[in-house]
Amino acid sequence: MKQVKTMAAQGDCMIRRATSIPKGFVEAARNGPIIVSHSETGHHHVVNNEGIKLFEPEDKKADSLVCFLQMGTDVCSFDVEHLRTYDTHETLRFLGEPGSIWEVRRQREHTPQGWRRVQD
């Protein structure tokens, strides 16, 4: 397992340290794992650790490629796992002090029809 302190990519998502959560993002209710990047084939990138908060755009109509994670007051790490049993991406362990904020950004690509999410 690779340990990360500042920035790493896993599949079609990049995760990096942030200094704050921008206006327009609100804490999302959590019921089970946090899916940081949905896969079209069901092989999502997820955080299973307790004590991690997810912040998503307040405007649910926006097809945002960005969300934020924040470590709880007693949390110093979280793991991002790829839910696939074959040809999987390595699990990444993100390290930081309690309260650390992380930006999760899905990659996009340009096509003749315009921008679209990269498909992992």
For the residues 103-119, what does the mean pLDDT come to?
Answer: 70
Distances in Å between the alpha carbon of 48 and those of 4, 91, 107?
17, 12, 22
Signed CA dihedral, 77, 50, 100, 13: sign only: positive
Q: Which residue has the higher pLDDT, 90 or 109?
A: 90
Query: Which residue's entry shows tokens 């089970």?
Result: 32
Is the pLDDT score of 104 beyond 50?
Answer: yes
13 - beta bridge partners?
Answer: 10, 106
Of 55, 44, 49, 105, give the one whose Cα is nearest residue 78.
49
> Chain-centre distance of CA 39, in angstroms?
12
Query: What pTM was computed for the model?
Result: 0.84
Per-residue pLDDT, 120: 47
Radius of gyration of the chain (CA): 14
Structure tokens at 74: 């007693």
Q: Could you read off the pLDDT of 5-32 as tens digits, one per residue?
A: 999 988 788 999 999 999 999 999 988 8
Confidence (pLDDT) at 70? 97
